Amino acid sequence: MTSSEIREKFLSFFKGKNHTIVPSAPMVIKDDPTLMFTNAGMNQFKEYFLGNSISKHPRIADTQKCLRVSGKHNDLEEVGKDTYHHTMFEMLGNWSFGDYFKKEAIAWAWELLTEVYKIDKESLYVSVFEGSEDDNLTLDQEAYDLWKAIVPENRIILGSKKDNFWEMGDQGPCGPCSEIHVDIRPASEKAKVAGASLVNQDHPEVIEIWNLVFIQYNRKADGSLEPLPEKHVDTGMGFERLSMVLQGVNSSYDSDIFRPILKEVESITGEAYGSDPEKDIAMRVVADHIRAVAFSIADGQLPSNNGAGYVIRRILRRAVRYGFTFLGTHEPFLFKLVKVLVTQMGTAFPELKRQSALIENVVREEEHSFLKTLEQGLVLLDEVISGTKGKVVDGQKAFELYDTFGFPIDLTSLILGEKGYTLDTEGFEKAMQEQKSRSRSASEVAKDDWQVVHTNGEQEFLGYDQLEAEVRLVKYRKITTKKDKTQFQLVFDKTPFYPEGGGQVGDMGYLEVPNGDVVYILDTKKENNEIVHYAKNLPKHLNESLTAVVNKVARANTERNHSATHLLHQALRNVLGSHVEQKGSAVHPGHLRFDFSHFAKLTNEELTRVEDFVNERIHEHLPLQENRQVSMKEAMKEGAIALFGEKYGDQVRTIRFGNSIELCGGTHVKNTAEIWHFKIVSEGAIAAGVRRIEAITSDAVLNHYEEKEGQLDEIKARLKSSGDPVKAIEGLIEENAQLKKEIEALQKDKAKGLKAEIKKELEQREDYKFLSREVDLDAGAMKDLSFEMGQEVDNLFLLLGSEKDGKALLSCYISKDLANAKGWNAGQIVRELGKFIQGGGGGQPFFATAGGKNPEGIKEALEKVRSLLT
Ligand code: ATP
Ligand code: MG
């Protein structure tokens, strides 16, 4: 069975059990402050588990792109080393939201595995939660009894909280689970050791394939559990692991999902997979990581220096480093794998195909710059080694290399080993821990439990039509922010406040309380599909009706910038071509930022055309045509632009101005005339093939021009000319050049005169000529003069002192023969004399300079030199 057939069979099986099939949510999560990447199929349904909203479909099935490289689920370090953990993988899942529970979930899982996929029943084991004292929970008897009816008891294993109690995060929905494990060892092995004893023992051929989670509790902030009113089913089966089992191979890398990629790795590196265990690990790392990186970029997350982007960068670098160390790849090569990946997965995931050129470019560029870092790191490491006394290299130093230059620690260890050194791992770990606790305390936010004031149905958003509304508090909780400040999160039954999303910032404003008090709302965000308001304090009377008022000025400016962003997007596609894809946007009251894929810097002419295009649309006074409820199909037919990496339902909202039509949940002007004017203030690259435009509209444009005009007036005033300032400046430039020339000529004359003077002053000592004297020259001129004198006078000792801009300078010249004969050293001499001018210096034995902050000391230095020459 091919992997495509396996995926298809899963979905059609559950369709047959009345499940609605939905597409995978993006792997990169944009609007959830608690999670960077989708790490399980259930993430996109969190709001249903929490009871914030009700799913239209009580039964759902899908395949979900997952990434487990950060937070609670992090498999990164296993990947490559074993044969069944991946960074990015597909999770096949079926869900029940308050519908069926353990009985059906267990029966269907068994039916699918044994009757549809025809896995040998004898090779399957199941596990049941045994209970846990911490949580006061006992054996999951219900699940145990259900399994007992299907499988013999010796194939039911009891599991601890670690393996059989599933939690999404530190807080939130959770519950006991039943896992299904499969033993794929050859019969001869099975006869020797019973499979049951190998379950959950990290055996590569006795592995978990499916987890059936029975969500029935909510974990509260204080760690206690409370039962959920509705019970849910959440299952997840590893698609790659299932394919391995059904294709009769013992590593998911040998399934048809990974084979073509590994083949390409073989042909690029000239290494054969399976010939050397160390190289095999590296090849698996490479084959795995390119998928994670490519899918992230397709979802709109580029590698970067922080947050989710940094996680992606680290995955990519791990692959480069394994290639560099074990496969001898010292040139970019990962980008070459993108083509195979696209051929193989581009049909199931079209976002990959559409953006393959961008993915290749970004990956190649990243590889290139990291390889450079590696080279520099090797040089720095050599320096660290040569500065090491003994054979143990300081862990703190290795950590600095790792932390500041991104030089990988395992490479450091490897190189040290080759050179006969060892690493002080304890010191390294200590430095690492210190840094971790520093960054943890800087980023963590503590949250109390929600306090419910009113119970309420689904929350209503009024902000498309209203900026003010009477609302009631539904629940609130206290949070402690990064900077140890207390704030309150408030949820209302309805709200006019727009929550941050789709690039547009969250609304600010205030609440008016009946007694006349005001509570400020600092920001608004969406969490698990609920609009959460961040308030400075809590309203005194929680039960009363409140007036929620949005800051109208900020909102209006934000709307101008949001609508202008749509017009800019349209303009770029018009002027540059339809390859332009939105890669990010930020819409603030004061400015807008738009990132997009394009491979070259925009010329001035293109920038002007883009600006003109937008301004023409503004002058056409195009009315807003908003459609709040339209089917995705209909919207696409009309030509609406959807973004990769965004989550859309089957009903979407479209925003149209003339021919610009986009899927968008943001707020907009009623007519483009309100934007008044659009002006680009900067354009540049933010990554390979991705450019950023920053622009302003309306009042900001006025301020911009007023500021420019102010500057021009200032320039005119300084020029003291009422005529054309450009002409006046050209005149100044010319005059300046002329004056420079004259000064140079004068300085040359002066130097000539000075040289003649100095020659006359030279003291003839027994076998050399001596002079120490003050001059009015800068450092460069002092050096020139010294060398010229040296050319003309043999056996010369010349010490010059000068004061420039309040600082003291000394220069010492000694003819080479003289320095050798007498054993004098100009460097030592200036260092000695540096004391008098409160400074230091150095140089070569025949010429050296010193600088200091005490010009008063010059005279003394010029005098003291005599006593040094003995
Ligand atoms: P394991 O103990 O093997 O790491 P898990 O308990 O972390 O698995 P779950 O969180 O229950 O796994 O995820 C459900 C299913 O997803 C698993 O049964 C497995 O088939 C699959 N899965 C989990 N992690 C990975 C991974 N890193 N790579 C591939 N498949 C995975
Ligand atoms: Mg795991």
Residue 702: the pLDDT is 95
**What spacing in Å lies between the alpha carbon of 39 and ligand 2's midpoint?**
10
- 322-325 — which CB contacts under 8 Å span 24+ positions? 322/80, 322/281, 322/282, 322/285, 322/286, 323/269, 323/282, 323/286, 324/371, 324/374, 324/411, 325/282, 325/410, 325/411, 325/414
> What mean pLDDT comes out for the span 577-591?
93
The answer to whether 71 and 307 have CB atoms below 8 angstroms apart is no
Question: Which token pair is 302?
Answer: 């580029």
Kindly report the protein residue whose alpha carbon is nearest to atom 12 of ligand 1: 211
**Pocket of ligand 1 from Cβ distances under 6 Å:** 40, 68, 75, 85-86, 89, 91, 208-211, 236-238, 240-241
Angle at 347 between CA 345 and CA 352, to 5 degrees: 60
**What spacing in Å lies between the alpha carbon of 83 and ligand 1's midpoint?**
12
Spatial distance between the Cα atoms of 745 and 748, rounded to a whole number of angstroms: 5
**What spacing in Å lies between the alpha carbon of 110 and ligand 1's midpoint?**
18
Spatial distance between the Cα atoms of 205 and 195, rounded to a whole number of angstroms: 10
Spatial distance between the Cα atoms of 126 and 152, rounded to a whole number of angstroms: 10
Residue 621: the pLDDT is 97
Share of the chain above pLDDT 70, in %: 99
> What mean pLDDT comes out for the span 257-277?
96
Which ligand ends up closest to the CA of 85? 1
The H-or-E segment that residue 612 falls in is helix 604-619
Ligand 1 atom, smallest distance to 73 CA: 7
Q: Do β-strands 796-804 and 660-663 pair in parallel, antiparallel, or remain unpaired?
A: unpaired
In which band, very low, low, confident or very high, does the pLDDT at 441 lie, cut at 50, 70 and 90? low
The answer to whether 472 and 507 have CB atoms below 8 angstroms apart is no
Strand extents, DSSP E, 184-244: 206-219, 225-238
Spatial distance between the Cα atoms of 392 and 428, rounded to a whole number of angstroms: 12
**What spacing in Å lies between the alpha carbon of 754 and ligand 2's midpoint?**
82
Residue 443 has pLDDT above 70, yes or no: no
**What spacing in Å lies between the alpha carbon of 187 and ligand 1's midpoint?**
25
Which ligand ends up closest to the CA of 43? 1
User: Residue 664, annotated ligand binder?
Assistant: yes
Kindly report the protein residue whose alpha carbon is nearest to atom 8 of ligand 1: 208
In which band, very low, low, confident or very high, does the pLDDT at 52 lie, cut at 50, 70 and 90? confident
Kindly report the protein residue whose alpha carbon is nearest to atom 1 of ligand 1: 208
pLDDT digits (tens, 9 = 90+) for 368-408: 989 988 888 888 888 889 888 889 999 998 898 888 777 87
Residue 662: the pLDDT is 95
Which ligand ends up closest to the CA of 166? 1
> What mean pLDDT comes out for the span 8-19?
98
Residue 483: the pLDDT is 74
Ligand 1 atom, smallest distance to 236 CA: 14
In which band, very low, low, confident or very high, does the pLDDT at 748 lie, cut at 50, 70 and 90? confident
Residue 520: the pLDDT is 94
The answer to whether 862 and 774 have CB atoms below 8 angstroms apart is yes
With the most atoms of ligand 1 within 8 angstroms of its CB, the residue from 85, 125, 182, 200 to mutate is 85
**What spacing in Å lies between the alpha carbon of 225 and ligand 1's midpoint?**
24
Ligand 1 atom, smallest distance to 208 CA: 18
Residue 259 has pLDDT above 80, yes or no: yes
Kindly report the protein residue whose alpha carbon is nearest to atom 31 of ligand 1: 238
> What mean pLDDT comes out for the span 528-549?
90
Ligand 1 atom, smallest distance to 209 CA: 20
Residue 134 has pLDDT above 60, yes or no: yes
Which ligand ends up closest to the CA of 208? 1
Angle at 344 between CA 340 and CA 347, to 5 degrees: 130
Neighbour count for residue 456 (Cβ, 10 Å): 16
The answer to whether 847 and 798 have CB atoms below 8 angstroms apart is no
Residue 465: the pLDDT is 96
User: Residue 177, annotated ligand binder?
Assistant: no
Question: Which token pair is 662?
Answer: 């986009």
Which ligand ends up closest to the CA of 179? 1
634 half-sphere exposure, CB direction, 13 A CA radius: 11
Share of the chain above pLDDT 90, in %: 72
Residue 297 has pLDDT above 70, yes or no: yes
User: Residue 668, annotated ligand binder?
Assistant: yes
Q: How far is CA 368 from CA 311, 363, 381, in A?
A: 18, 8, 20
Ligand 1 atom, smallest distance to 210 CA: 18
Mean pLDDT of the chain: 92
pLDDT digits (tens, 9 = 90+) for 766-805: 899 999 999 988 888 899 999 999 999 999 999 999 998 8
Residue 438 has pLDDT above 80, yes or no: no
Ligand 1 atom, smallest distance to 79 CA: 27
Residue 275: the pLDDT is 93
Question: Which token pair is 252?
Answer: 């998911």
Residue 852 has pLDDT above 90, yes or no: yes
Torsion of CA 88, 89, 92, 94, to 10 degrees: -30
Spatial distance between the Cα atoms of 848 and 810, rounded to a whole number of angstroms: 8
Residue 440 has pLDDT above 70, yes or no: no
Residue 442: the pLDDT is 54
Kindly report the protein residue whose alpha carbon is nearest to atom 19 of ligand 1: 238
With the most atoms of ligand 1 within 8 angstroms of its CB, the residue from 91, 209, 288 to mutate is 91
Ligand 1 atom, smallest distance to 207 CA: 3
Residue 456: the pLDDT is 79
> What mean pLDDT comes out for the span 667-695?
95
**What spacing in Å lies between the alpha carbon of 177 and ligand 2's midpoint?**
14
- In three-state secondary structure terms, 164 is helix
Residue 367: the pLDDT is 95
Question: Which token pair is 395?
Answer: 């862990």
Kindly report the protein residue whose alpha carbon is nearest to atom 22 of ligand 1: 238
Q: What is the pTM of this model?
A: 0.74
Residue 444: the pLDDT is 57
With the most atoms of ligand 1 within 8 angstroms of its CB, the residue from 42, 206, 241 to mutate is 241
In which band, very low, low, confident or very high, does the pLDDT at 102 lie, cut at 50, 70 and 90? very high
Kindly report the protein residue whose alpha carbon is nearest to atom 2 of ligand 1: 208
Which one of 31-40, 427-436, 459-468 scores highest in mean pLDDT? 459-468
> What mean pLDDT comes out for the span 406-427?
84
The answer to whether 342 and 353 have CB atoms below 8 angstroms apart is yes
Kindly report the protein residue whose alpha carbon is nearest to atom 23 of ligand 1: 238
Residue 585: the pLDDT is 94
pLDDT digits (tens, 9 = 90+) for 199-232: 999 999 999 999 999 999 988 888 899 998 889 9
Ligand 1 atom, smallest distance to 78 CA: 27
467 vs 221, which has greater pLDDT? 467
Spatial distance between the Cα atoms of 586 and 594, rounded to a whole number of angstroms: 7
Residue 733 has pLDDT above 60, yes or no: yes
Kindly report the protein residue whose alpha carbon is nearest to atom 11 of ligand 1: 211
pLDDT digits (tens, 9 = 90+) for 646-677: 888 889 999 999 999 999 999 999 999 999 99
Spatial distance between the Cα atoms of 399 and 428, rounded to a whole number of angstroms: 6
Ligand 1 atom, smallest distance to 180 CA: 18
Which ligand ends up closest to the CA of 91? 1
